[in-house]
Structure 1
Amino acid sequence: MTVKATRLGSIEGVDRADSMSFLAIPYAAPPTGPLRWMPPAPPASWSGTLDATKHPNRAFQAPFPPELMPKGGIPGALSEDMLYLNVHTPAADDKKRPVMVWIHGGGFTLGSANDFDPISFVEHHDVVVVCINYRLGLFGFLDLSRFGPEYAGSVSLGFQDQIAAIRWVADNIADYGGDPANITICGGSAGAGAVLSLLAAPTAKGLFHKAIAISPLEISAAAPDIITPCAAYMQMDEPVFFEHLKAMSGQELYDFQANGGIGSAACVDGTIIVKSIPEAIREQVNPVPLLVGCVLQEGNMLTAAMGDNPAIFSMIEAGLVANAGGGDAARYTAYLDKMSAGRTPADRMNQMWFDYFRAFTLRAAQGSTDGGTPAWVYTFAVPTSHEHGPTHGADVTFAFDAVGDIDEGEWRAFYQNTAENRAIAAMWSGVLVTFMRSGNPNSPALPHWPVYDAQRRSCMVLEAVPKLVDGPDSAEALAAYGLATSDA
């Protein structure tokens, strides 16, 4: 164990092979009691030595699907008291290392700071990684603005938590061997959607300096009305229903959400996330260099998880087509119908999942470069014998140089722990670190990688041997995605 004196007080962490971890550091007060559905408040100070040797609580959530559960499970109890972060560092010294803040995925309803151990990445590349918790589901993404001005932005409390955590990092990471002037925010899936959403959050301005979005999920254009139908179902007036929700325990509130199938949605709320993400990026709300990409077969695992259920397929399709089409569902649906003619429903769903992630990737990148800030686009296509292929989430192990940590049967084993895959992971994670250090991913390990723009539309395809491809998306696909094609 290591005890470190910091500006907040003495803290005890865990010694690793060539690094150390400080777990469950509070970055905000517990959002319980009167602080439920309130913006994150400053944490209480501590006296003596803070025990940072055990994983923090996790937000209330459903169990991970068995095929996605790491061996040994995920540590941390489920609790409403979960605004903590984990710092992983080569050394808590005075060296100013690049810092990554990892925002977990899980559709804004699953996940935690404990899901992934980035220690290989930390030790191999001499960087600091901070993994953060944030409120999920009805706790973090429920629109309560009708109940008073104090609830403005309530539908973005999860984003407010992320901003508070990044602010803590900016204020304190120098105590843990990190450089507060070189912070990269990075996430996968919903976490990548959060990364791009924070580019549209004025209150996050200046807190981070680069952004990496791995298969970004696009947030909704507006908040859904959860209160009206739920209050009607409970046969309560809306203010009475709200008091009923406030009186519930955290477990009861989560059970109410889970048993009723009640959704929540991260969205453009006009208060925290001020406008559509591509528009905000184009207007340079938070202008930072951007690295963004998706996987060759995004939908294979996601579609398989739905089973052979036409009703679920139809429900998911209704929620995806507008996003894939940049707000024009009819335009994209016409393209989807043409692309999926004569194919199975699963093939159609796979096409739609890929388009969903690819379209948002390209709109974000083009918005960035149109606005004057460089962005680079990639496609992860490393071959694998896994039945799902290079699918959603399969690239995270490569991004964190963790292929050598894979045990057979783990959810990350979309790929085998082979010398070839370890070499690709070392190369690709090194590219991400090059971007973290300099704001440019170009590396001797890659062909020259131009900034993405609407004329050339360059994309780095990560295969066994990386290659640069100009204009891989057809003019028809770009039009369906809502991207200009006259100059493509």
Structure 2
Amino acid sequence: MGLVVETKYGKVEGFNEEGINKWFGIPYAKPPMGKLRFKRTERCVPWDGVKKTKSHGNKPHQFLDTKLTDIPASEDCLFLNIWAPQGAKDLPVFVWIYGGAYSLGECSDPNYDGTNFAKDGVIYVAFNYRLGVLGFYDFSIYDESFDSNCGVADQIEALTWIKENIAAFGGDSNNITIAGESAGAASVINMLAAPKAKGLFNKAIAESPIPGCVHNRYSTKLNMDLFLKEMKIAPGEVYKLKKLHPDEMKHAAEYLLFNNCNLYPGIFLPGPVIDDLIPKCPIDAISKGCAKDIKLIIGTNHDDGSLFVKVKTTMFPRSWEQVEKMLKLNHCIDKIEALHQLYDGLSENKQMKELGKDRAFLIDSIKVADSQSSYNDTWMYRFDYAPILTRLVGLKSVHGVEVPIALDNLGRGIIRRFWKGAPREVMYKLRDDMHTAWVNFAKSSDPNKDLDVAWPKYNAEDRPTYVFNEQNTVVMNPSNKNYEVWKDIKLYIN
């Protein structure tokens, strides 16, 4: 396979670096600009000649003030990157979907570099999708000229492009694994439930997903009303958003992210909504077998809640007063005493961390695993290791800490800072275990080869959970007590 590859839309020319063939900045859809702002993705326009794909495409406009790279932001952002070994042919494909609360992120982030996957004999793909106001705010509830789920449509279009074109880059279009962390993992769960994504991939890995972060009309309107109020735009005047520069909307998006949970404790940040692309809450759809053809790895971090109590932007209650308000708003105040008993003995700060973790990540992940394991092979994990730096600042096995381990990118990106000072032998053993399991899963549909402790398939009775730590272990039903308290608490779901 050469560096000039012919896709269904035209030829692209990549480059070779570190012995790996790379194509950066391949367009997979029409630029969602002008009349296509706030509209769902449209197919890429074919081009003549050879398109140079040797540098990252523009990143999406970011709606949280965190700078990941110096790549320019633009509405013309629907690009993907591909890493492949030289001479690749019929290799398994691993597709990464970045996280970032549906508000920030980019496939050009060094945390998501695919070089080491390609060195392991796997084609690696990462793609951009629209974020925040442009991708996940649903103004169609006020004005039908706006589309819902634009960011979800981007993700489906990217997967469609990969399915149709990856063979030209040496990939096996019938062996595609999609994976992601946080909002990226939630996107993976959403793809399991999206009818238009059916057949576009074969396996899935969800690292600390928020499976319940799919809004109904009620919770959507609460968020959108708050945004418009800060923008000083009446609901009947949302058309004005079509002409504003994205930077003019950022302050109101940040206001929403910092304040929505204070007003409506427990509400999620703006994200996907129930519509024709995601017809039913994914947890419910998966329980009915919508993803019966997909093999799944799903898991959480031991301290997934610690980051969200520490930072300003949160979807977690910060006090028992807010917890009580959350339960009253959702007509389940009768659960307050059981929650008090569940977290009894912890400081209030620790209680809120654990409560937030259970509410957002853990319980719904168990529900997904319980359901999916009745239809297809499923494995569940928990990442327990806390590097010395995250222990010192009280974050412990914090949300996202495993990403450079799983993607074998300990030397790249901002998240690598979590691992500063960690014992090298522990760090590299974890990397070898987790990354190898992901590669094994992509190649053979089983994570187990070369693991020092066998990873059993999940079942809803015993709930075997693989614990990644200095010494890996398998624990049976480790969160049963928490699950039994939380399983019937439904928040903002009609």
Structure 2 equivalent of residue 131 of structure 1: 126
Corresponding residue for residue 10 of structure 2: 9
Contact 2:143 2:238 in 1 (8 A): no
Aligned to 2:245: 249
Secondary structure at the aligned position of 1:290 is classed as strand
CA contact (8 A) 1:222 1:267 kept: no
Q: Distance in 2 between matches of 1:282 and 1:312?
A: 28
Partners of 1:125 and 1:202 in 2: CA distance: 32
Please, which of 363, 370, 384 is the counterpart of residue 367 of structure 2?
Answer: 363
What is the letter of the counterpart of residue 166 of structure 1? L
Write the letter of the residue equivalent to 2:89. K
Q: 1:470 to 1:196 in 2, by over 3 A?
A: same
SS at match of 1:105: coil
Match for residue 168 of structure 1? 161
Shift in CA distance, 95/333, structure 1 to aligned 2, threshold 3 Å: farther
Distance in 2 separating the partners of 1:56 and 1:101: 17
Deviations 1:147-182 (A, max 9, x none): 56564xx33111111010000000111121211111
Q: Matches of residues 36-51 of structure 1 in structure 2 within 5 Å?
A: 36-51=37-52
SS of equivalent residue, structure 1 residue 129: strand
**Aligned mate of 1:402, from 409, 422, 425:** 409
Deviation at 1:133, TM superposition (A): 0.9
CA distance in 2 between counterparts of 1:345 and 1:395 reads 26
| Deviations 1:250-275, CA, capped at 9 Å, x for gaps | 33334553467697622441321111
The aligned amino acid for 2:453 is: P
Is there any run of 5+ residues in structure 1 with no aligned partner, and where?
Answer: none
Q: Classify 1:312/1:354 alpha carbon distance in 2 versus 1 (closer, same or farther; 3 Å).
A: closer
Q: Which secondary structure state, in structure 2, belongs to the residue aligned with residue 60 of structure 1?
A: coil
Q: What is the CA RMSD across the aligned residues, in angstroms?
A: 3.1
Q: Deviations over 1:99-125 (max 9, x none)?
A: 111110000001111122433432441
- How far off is 1:396 after superposition? 0.8
CA distance in 1 between partners of 2:488 and 2:234 (Å): 44
Work out the CA distance in 2 between the residues paired with 1:306 and 1:377.
30
**Structure 2 unmatched ranges of 5 or more:** 261-268, 490-494
- One-letter amino acid matched to 1:107: A
Q: CA deviation at 1:418?
A: 0.9
The TM-score with structure 1 as length reference comes to 0.86
1:308-352 CA-partner distances (Å, limit 9, x unpaired)? x9x972599669977xxxx88546643432233453332122112
Partner Cα distance (2:22, 2:216) in 1: 39
Offset of residue 480 of structure 1: 1.8
Indicate conservation of the 8 Å contact 1:120/1:400, yes or no: no
One-letter amino acid matched to 2:417: W
> 1:118 and 1:260, CA in 2 relative to 1: closer, same or farther beyond 3 A?
closer
Q: 2:100 aligns with which of 81, 106, 109?
A: 106
Q: TM-score, normalised by structure 2?
A: 0.85
**Structure 2 partner of 1:199:** 192
In structure 2, the residue matched to 1:238 is: 235
Aligned residue in 2 for 1:29: 30
Tell me the matched-pair count: 464
Q: State the alpha-carbon separation in 2 of the partners of residues 407 and 106 from structure 1.
A: 14
Correspondent of 1:428 among 430, 434, 438: 434
Q: Which residue of 2 aligns with 1:381?
A: 384
Residue 472 to residue 106, structure 1, CA distance change in 2 (3 Å): same
Q: Does 1:210 align with 2:203?
A: yes
**1:98/1:390 Cα in 2 relative to 1: closer, same or farther (>3 Å)?**
same
Structure 1 residues 54 and 444: alpha-carbon distance in aligned structure 2, compared to 1, 3 A threshold: closer
Instruction: Report the Cα distance in structure 1 between the residues aligned to 2:99 and 2:5, rounded to whole angstroms.
Output: 32
CA distance in 1, matches of 2:335, 2:160: 39
1:212-361 to structure 2, matched below 5 A, reads 212-218=205-211, 219-223=213-217, 224-225=220-221, 226-228=223-225, 238-239=235-236, 241-258=237-254, 265-287=270-292, 288-306=294-312, 313-314=318-319, 330=333, 333-341=336-344, 343-355=346-358, 356-361=360-365
Alignment partner, residue 390 of structure 1: 397
CA distance in 1, matches of 2:331, 2:123: 41
Whole-Å Cα distance in 2 between the matches of residues 76 and 107 of structure 1?
20
Residue 360 (structure 1) shift: 1.8
What is the SS of the residue equivalent to 1:477? helix
Contact 1:104 1:191 in 2 (8 A): yes
Give, in whole Å, the separation in 2 of the partners of 1:90 and 1:64. 36
What one-letter code is carried by the residue in structure 1 that aligns with 2:441? F
Deviation of 1:54 (Å): 1.5
The C-alpha deviation readout for 1:51-72, integer Å capped at 9, x for no partner, is 211112112114655xxx6xxx
Query: Per the alignment, do residues 314 and 274 of structure 1 end up closer, same or farther by CA in structure 2, a change over 3 Å counting?
Result: farther
